[in-house]
Amino acid sequence: MIYGRIEFRANPFHYDLQFDSRITLVRGDSATGKTYLYQLLEDVKQLEEYRDIRLLNYKSDDFHGTLKSYRDKFIVIDNADILLENEDRRFINFESSNQYLLFLRNCDGLNVSAESFTVLEERRYDVSLRKELVGA
């Protein structure tokens, strides 16, 4: 694991994101703040302690080639449902030096566990990743 936890404050919000799987999927309803989190991480990765974060979305140049070039990185992918192809999913499965935070609904072809499925939850400006599958 590159990061077991990413914690930061972006007023008025406090983010405390804990990861128990090499591949974390963030799903849930629309408008729960997934893309907003992605945008915050663009700034958070400028901090020394989070320098291994890499971000990819629909605006990324050469998405597939860039993804495959990463090693030992914490890779965040927004819009993953329209970006990930079968070959990308295989890379994510087998390039185990990377950790992934995927804003993705379709987990077909990914080696995920019950720990992988999360939804963003905000309570009184505290934002965390809640496990989607409880007791699975």
Partner 1 sequence: MVYLYTEKQENENWILKNDVYFNLHTGNQPFTEQDKEAIFQIDKARVTQDAHIETKYGIGTVRNLSTGCKTYLNVLKNPGKVVGANECGGNVLTLLFALDDIRLYMNRPERFDIKEDVRIMINDRDLVVGKRGYELWWSSEYERRAKDDLWEN
Residues 105-124 that bind partner 1 (CB under 8 A): 105-106, 108-109
Region near partner 1 per CB under 8 A, out of 1-9, 25-33, 94-102, 128-136 = 25-33
Q: Is 24 exposed, middle or buried (0-12, 13-18, 19+ CB in 10 A)?
A: buried
| Spacing of C-alpha 116 from chain mean position | 10
Q: In angstroms, what is the minimal distance from the CB of 10 to partner 1?
A: 9
Q: Which helix (H) or strand (E) holds 65?
A: helix 63-69
Which member of 2, 8, 20, 32 binds partner 1 (CB under 8 A)?
32
The secondary structure of the chain in percent helix, strand, coil, rounded to multiples of 5, reads 25, 30, 40
Binding of partner 1 at residue 81 (CB under 8 A)? yes
Residues near partner 1 (CB under 8 A) are: 27-36, 58, 79, 81-82, 84-86, 89, 105-106, 108-109
